[in-house]
Chains A and B, each alone.
Chain A
Amino acid sequence: MNDEIGVASETAPSAWRVPLTDLAMPECDVQAVLDCLRSGWLTMGPRTQAFEQALAGYLGSPHTVAVSSGTAALHLACLAAGIGPGDEVIVPALTFVASANAARYVGAEPVFCDIRGAGDGGGGDDGNGTGDGGGGGDGDGGYDLNIDVADAARRITPRTRAIVAVHLGGYPADVLALRELCDERGLILIEDCAQAIGARVDAAGRQVGTVGELGTFSFFSKKQLCVGEGGMVATADEELAARVRLLRSHALSSSTWDRHRGHDPAYDVVDIGFNYRLDEPRAALGRSRLERLDADIARRRELVRAYRERLADMPGLEFAWDARAVERSSHFFFPILLRDREARDDLRARLKAVGVQTTWYPALHTFTEYRGATPADGLPRASEAADRHCALPLSATMDERALEIVVEEVRAALA
């Protein structure tokens, strides 16, 4: 893995035996980028359009807009949805910080809600009743690190405008239940699919990002579909798509590409927009890699199944989610749960000592920046899950040897 692609040997002073993530870059990807560079046209143009069309086809979403990052996608989604000062946006507390920051970029306030966790900690099953949710819709999906629909419902106030549903680690949140809730209460549903491209929300195979009014995606270098830095907004609503397109490039009424092709050189600025553009080399890379996305996800799933089989009998180790969720997930990371924070930290230290890289997601309300945002009743399940979970190495390039190293080292550490 590492030595084959040369990351560790070339640039990393401390080589991991098994890094958290790794990626293969076949020659067809490299050539796609070089072709683009040779063309001399680097700013948003035909390659970005082709990438967007391919993504729309992949997702089954009428409109896709390529942007500079998953964070930019969330920001533009909030703007397009008309969220602004005075509004509240409900965000699960266990996610990457961008999920909450986006609300603040538009002057709104993120309101944290809890995750489902073990599902018996007061979350109840009321409000979670579609029975076909991704991870824990029927209350028996295993330990669920995603948003608790009932808790989200409790935190709705007259100022609430939207709910951000995060599909953590690639495992679909119960967006079908959230869709019902948002429809009942007149709220906008934004799906944060930064970690979940290719995950399915139901047995029919509906893609994440197509249930909410807007779905946001990330093509960061660690993601299932990666280009370095990049992202996308998907929506079925033509007006929302037009708004996202406008605001990603300074709300200019015509683009550099339009003007190159003969559009009048005059343009207007019709709103306060941003520079959230992707560029052509990254679009070319994304388009090339999209061809292998499903195969990569299938490989990730195979590895997760193998992990779960080989670690099933370990005392003090619990899996998140259940076998059905594994089938629907697109597997950004593979989480395990230990007894408590001490056990988790101890496992991570032992794995680090033997060259196995792991990570974990702090809950947002424990960050210095968000300490004041903790609700009075706390977020007990997000706090507990943050303390107990640990993500093991996972990438499409991971081979049997690397998998076996991790399994053996985890078993040894917990023995």
Chain B
Amino acid sequence: MAATETSPELPLFDLRLEAQDLEAVAQTLRSGWLTLGARTAAFEEAFAAQLGARHAVAVSSCTAALHLAYLAAGVGPGDEVIVPSFTFTATAAAVLYCGATPVFAEIVSRERPSLDPEDVARRITPRTKAVCVVHYAGYAAAADRLRELCDAHGIALIEDVAHAPSATLAGRKLGTWGLAGAFSFFSNKILSVGEGGLLCTDSDAVAEFARSHRSHAMTSGTWDRHRGLTDTYDVVGLGYNYRLDEPRAALLLSRLGRLEADIARRRELALRYRELLAEVEGILVPFTDAEVQTSSCYVMPIMLARDGLQSVVSARMRATGIQTSIFYPSIHCFSAYRERFPDVSLPITELASRTELTLPFYPHMTAADQDRVVQSLAEALVT
């Protein structure tokens, strides 16, 4: 997006669509069929194939995908779901939608801000129904160890893959390690459409549940009726309107063809950032160069070594035209969660939240842009 009076010169993210994307949307609009139909089915098929999952169910957002995933795992009132606190609020909020309780677990460290399987193991109780692992910034969390742990306890592993389309762990795509994976197509994501999400699963039952409940648990849809397949329908559960629509499916299908190229470019940029940042005093850079190769590199997070500098560094960088963000404030420290769960204490997560800064990152960023960001950061850190 072009810089305006108030928008930063180097924004956190910047989306550029190509002529073929616009054409795909224009064609869909001109067809006059906007509700869930052939284009959504085509996108789901392509996404499932790309992922190597049996089923992909497109929905209205990643929040919706998480809600459906938890419900499909049987999460309900009285149950507990173990989630990280170092994530977006939806990961935990969707547990509350089910009437269940989110139990917050620690991350490994500031260098590896992913869910710690050992801490998860300590928090399992007879009421635990599921664990949700977040692949933070596109880097694989220990989905393999968590899968073993969940299997041993007979509980479901759900993957919040909002950041990590096409990222892998041990050669296997993230989102395919658990019972279900929840993807986001929000406008600042790697594969973005505006608002959108997707649930993937290898389970026929979970897929059927998600398909039914994304559209009010009706036994047939508008598209089926348009095609003359059925004349009426029954309602067989408490469902929602979590549908995607055809223009967004067309945009996603068009952009999906460039996903791998976008990620390859993101990896180059991430490695170059890491090289530049290695020279900056007073910061830690999470994860390793090797992990960049299997990450989808959604954002570029750094941790300020010293506590108490986050807001001043952010403000100083903003003054030089550079936007930064915090991925993420700890969920358990938000007012809404403090009221409900006042006793949660997660020291590593809290320190990570107080010291993290997310730098501008998008595929068409130039080397000069990166140099400018890193220089601004280095100067902002000089006290």
Contact = CB atoms under 8 A, between A and B. Distances in A.
B235 A228 contact: no
Interface string B332-349: 001111000000000000
Contacts of A370: 235
Interface string B3-22: 00011100110111100011
Contacts of B236: 367-369
A30 B30 contact: yes
Instruction: Classify chain B: how many residues form its interface, as a range.
Output: 35 or more
Given A37-B21, A261-B6, A6 B32 contact: yes
B93 A272 contact: yes
Contact of A101 (B96, B238, B331): B238
A265 interface: yes
B241 A72 contact: yes
Nearest to A69: B241
B31 A10 contact: yes
Interface in B208-267: 216-218, 222, 225-228, 231-241, 243-248, 251
B138 interface: no
B319 to A, nearest CB: 10
29 contacts: A7-B32, A11-B38, A16-B226, A19-B226, A20-B226, A34-B25, A40-B15, A42-B193, A68-B241, A70-B241, A71-B240, A228-B247, A250-B90, A251-B336, A256-B188, A260-B323, A264-B311, A265-B324, A266-B326, A269-B331, A269-B335, A272-B97, A272-B336, A275-B61, A277-B61, A352-B231, A368-B234, A369-B235, A369-B237
Interface in A222-268: 222, 226-229, 250-252, 256, 259-262, 264-268
Given A277-B195, A281-B247, A359 B31 contact: no
Given A22-B32, A262-B8, A42 B336 contact: no
Residue among B25, B62, B334 with the highest chain A CB neighbour number at 10 A: B334
Contacts of A346: none
A262 B6 contact: yes
A220 interface: yes
B241 A71 contact: yes
Given A101-B238, A222-B222, A272-B96, A261 B7 contact: yes
A253 to B, nearest CB: 9
A228 B193 CA distance: 14
B30 A6 contact: yes
Nearest to B249: A228
A348 B29 contact: no
A229 to B, nearest CB: 5
Interface of B: 1, 6-8, 11-12, 14-17, 21-22, 25-26, 29-35, 37-38, 60-64, 89-90, 93, 96-97, 186-188, 192-195, 216-218, 222, 225-228, 231-241, 243-248, 251, 311, 314, 318, 323-326, 329, 331, 334-337
Contacts of A281: 25, 194, 247-248
Given A252-B89, A281-B248, A357-B228, 12 more contacts: A11-B38, A14-B227, A43-B187, A228-B248, A229-B60, A259-B323, A269-B331, A275-B61, A275-B63, A279-B193, A362-B234, A369-B238
B223 to A, nearest CB: 9
Nearest to B64: A275
Contact of B14 (A40, A43, A98): A40
A278 interface: yes
A266 B34 CA distance: 37
A11 B33 contact: yes
B25 A229 contact: no
Contacts of B243: 69, 229
Nearest to B315: A264
B249 to A, nearest CB: 10
Minimum-distance CB pairs A-B, first 9? A279-B194, A228-B245, A221-B34, A269-B334, A42-B187, A71-B241, A275-B63, A367-B235, A43-B187
A7 B231 contact: no
B195 A270 contact: no
A14 B33 CA distance: 15
Contacts of B193: 42, 279
Given A250-B90, A259-B325, A271-B336, A25 B30 contact: yes
A413 interface: no
Given A68-B60, A269-B334, A362 B232 contact: yes
Interface in A32-54: 33-34, 37-43
A280 B8 CA distance: 20
A220 B247 CA distance: 13
Contacts of A7: 31-33
Contact of B336 (A34, A269, A362): A269
Contacts of A277: 61, 195
Given A250-B90, A269-B336, A359 B225 contact: yes
Nearest to A23: B32
A266 B314 CA distance: 10
Interface string A168-185: 000000000000000000
A269 B22 contact: no
A362 B37 CA distance: 23
Given A281-B247, A362-B232, A368-B235, A268 B335 contact: yes
Contacts of A43: 186-188, 194-195
A267 B329 contact: yes
A134 B53 CA distance: 52
Contact of A226 (B22, B34, B334): B34
B62 to A, nearest CB: 8
Interface in A363-410: 364, 367-370
A70 B216 CA distance: 12
B34 A228 contact: yes
Contacts of A331: none
A240 B24 CA distance: 39
Contacts of B16: 40
Interface in A275-289: 275, 277-282, 285
A12 B194 contact: no
A156 interface: no
B32 A42 contact: no
Nearest to B11: A260
Contacts of A270: 334-336
Residue among B31, B90, B236 with the highest chain A CB neighbour number at 10 A: B31
Contact of B247 (A19, A33, A259, A274): A33
Contact of A266 (B226, B234, B329): B329
Residue among B22, B34, B311, B335 with the highest chain A CB neighbour number at 10 A: B34
B93 A250 contact: yes
Contact of A269 (B21, B89, B235): B89
